[in-house]
Amino acid sequence: MRTGEPVLRLIRPGTPPEDFPPLEEALDDPNGLLAVGGDLSSARLRAAYRRGIFPWYSGDQPILWWTPDPRAVLFPDQLRVTRSLKKTLRKERYQVTVDRAFARVIEACATTPRPDQDGTWITEEMQRAYLRMHQEGLTHSVETWDQERLVGGLYGMAIGQVFFGESMFSWSSDASKVALVRLRDLGFALIDCQVESDFVCQMGARPISRARFAALLDQHCEHAGPFDSPGDEARS
C-alpha cells in the first residue's frame, strides 16, 4: 500500500462504544465512509450520532459508518412552508402525534418503495436496534394520520437540541411535510438530514461543512432538548 493512502478503520465488536476514528479520516470516495464493523448497541449508536456519524449499509454488507462532507442540515427557522402546505395545515386535514406508533413508522419507512432506491437500507437488524432505543427514550417518531389511518411520518434520534433524522414516508399528499412541520415546532435547534435529496432541499435544508456540523453538535447536544424533560408536551 502506498504511503499516505487512506485506510478504512475496522471496529471490532466489544470495543468501547466511542471507538471511532477522527472524522477527518473519512474517505473522499465514497464520500464520508469512516469505518466498518462494530455493532448496533445503543451506546455505540448514541456515541456515533453525537459525533456526527451514522450507520448506512445493506443487508449483505458489514456495518458501515459514515460522516459525509458536506452535511445536509435543516435549521428549523428556515423550513420552507409553501402556500399549498399552509393551506393543508389550515384545513387541519391530518392529525399529528409524537411517539404514538414508532414501530409502524419505521416499518413503513423500510417497506415504502422509493423511485431512486433499489430495496431498503433499513434492515431488520437496524429496525431492532432503533426499536430498542425507542424503548430507552433515545429515538422518536412523528406520525401523520387521516382519521385512524397512518399516512405519513418520520423517525430519528434526539440528543439535546439536535434531531438526527433517519427516514420518512408519505402515503398521502403533504403527509410527510406536515410531520416535518410538527418536528420543527417541537423546538429543536438543528435537524440533521444527513445527505442532500430533492425533498429535503425543497423543504429548506442546505449543505454545511463537516467541521461546522461537528461544531454545531458541540454547541447544541449538551443542552436540554424537547425530549429531555419527563412530562413535557413533545408527545402531545
pLDDT tens sequence for the chain (236 residues): 344 566 799 999 789 999 999 999 999 999 999 999 999 999 999 999 999 999 999 888 999 999 999 999 999 999 999 999 999 999 999 999 999 999 999 999 999 976 665 546 899 999 999 999 999 999 999 999 999 999 999 999 999 999 999 999 999 999 999 999 999 999 999 999 999 999 999 999 999 999 999 999 999 999 999 999 655 545 55
Residue 76 and residue 29 in one domain: no
In this prediction, residue 5 carries a pLDDT of: 63
CATH value at residue 141: 3.40.630.70
Q: Is residue 235 in a domain?
A: no
Instruction: Output the pTM of the full model.
Output: 0.93
Q: Which of 96, 103, 191, 93 is nearest to 140 (CA)?
A: 103
Given 51, 68, 85, the domain boundary residue is 68
Residue 93 and residue 192 in one domain: yes
Number of domains in the chain: 2
Task: Print the SS3 string covering the chain.
Answer: CCCCCCCCEEECCCCCCCCCCCHHHCCCCCCCEEEEECCCCHHHHHHHHHHCCEECCCCCCCCEEECCCCEEEECHHHCCCCHHHHHHHHHCCCEEEECCCHHHHHHHHHHCCCCCCCCCCCCHHHHHHHHHHHHCCCEEEEEEEECCEEEEEEEEEEECCEEEEEEEEECCCCHHHHHHHHHHHCCCCEEEEECCCHHHHHCCCEEECHHHHHHHHHHHCCCCCCCCCCCCCCCC
**Inter-helix orientation angle 175-185/83-91, to 10°:** 80
In this prediction, residue 14 carries a pLDDT of: 84
In this prediction, residue 206 carries a pLDDT of: 97
In this prediction, residue 2 carries a pLDDT of: 42
Residue 22 and residue 46 in one domain: yes
Q: Is residue 140 in a domain?
A: yes
Q: Is residue 225 in a domain?
A: no
Q: Is residue 139 in a domain?
A: yes
Residue 148 and residue 177 in one domain: yes
Residue 107 and residue 50 in one domain: no
In this prediction, residue 168 carries a pLDDT of: 96
The range of the structural domain enclosing residue 58 comes to 9-68
Residue 154 and residue 189 in one domain: yes
Cell 436496534 locates to: 129
Residue 108 and residue 162 in one domain: yes
Residue 152 and residue 88 in one domain: yes
